[in-house]
Amino acid sequence: MKQPYLVFIFFGPPGSGKGTQSVVLGQKLGLPVISTGDLLRRQEAAKSPLGLKARRYTKRGQLVPNKLIHQIIAARLAKRDTAKGFILDGYPRDAAQLDDLLALVQDKYIIWLIEVKVGDKEVINRISGRRICNACGASFHVLYKPPKQAGMCDVCGKKLSIREDDKPAVVRQRLADYKATAAPLLAYGKKHKTLISINGQQTIPKVRQDIFAKIVKLIK
């Protein structure tokens, strides 16, 4: 019987660094990294039929319906570069999308779920500490990348601001939303013994090292 190919699903709370780690793993394994956010932006930029439909929702700040997301994901997975496996970032985000994915891949792949775990307090510190310059686009962090002069951009000297999505109250709501949607992924991974949990509060290189160490055991 032919060995099933591997699919890796990265998930974790906002600010966990899962996007960064998924890209690095994709480069290491030679697998495409598929981000729903990137797919939507490309479809919208190309003004494709799917992109135009998605734009009706994104321009109002609404989530794109699962049916439309499924069509976009299905079109991407039909490309040849996914034949030997792929990495997903930002999808599936709930039980319905997980069911859609399982229907697409059937038994051709083994699905591994990589959970990048970060505590609520650390998530709030990471995200609420972000500062951006609306004038030139430069970004800073009050703890990890502070500007030379508090509240002012090093590049152009303009005043820095905090995005609405990065304010503590909004971050707490994003965390609550994440925990609700992550529950089906955790349940699936535990049931099928394909859940890999990583301590995301370590340094970026250490998180990457831990992921690689566990993945190597799977692909030997």
Closest Cα to residue 111, out of 182, 193, 213? 193
* Least confident interval from 110-119, 147-156, 166-175, 197-206: 166-175
List, for residues 60-92, the tens digit of each pLDDT value. 767 788 899 999 999 999 999 998 899 999 899
Q: What is the mean pLDDT of the chain?
A: 89
174: annotated active-site residue: yes
Residue of 28, 67, 84, 163 marked active site: 163
* Domain boundaries along the sequence of the chain: 5-31+84-219
56: annotated active-site residue: no
60: annotated active-site residue: no
Closest Cα to residue 196, out of 106, 42, 87, 47? 87
List, for residues 126-138, the tens digit of each pLDDT value. 999 999 999 998 9
Per CATH, the homologous superfamily of domain 5-31+84-219 is P-loop containing nucleotide triphosphate hydrolases (3.40.50.300)
- Spatial neighbors of 11 by CB under 8 A, at least 6 apart, are 18, 113, 114, 115, 116, 182, 185
In this predicted structure, the answer to whether residue 184 has a pLDDT above a threshold of 80 is yes
41: annotated active-site residue: no
Predicted structure pTM score: 0.84
What is the rounded average pLDDT of the residues 29-50?
89
What is the rounded average pLDDT of the residues 112-118?
95
Residue of 76, 93, 126, 208 marked active site: 93
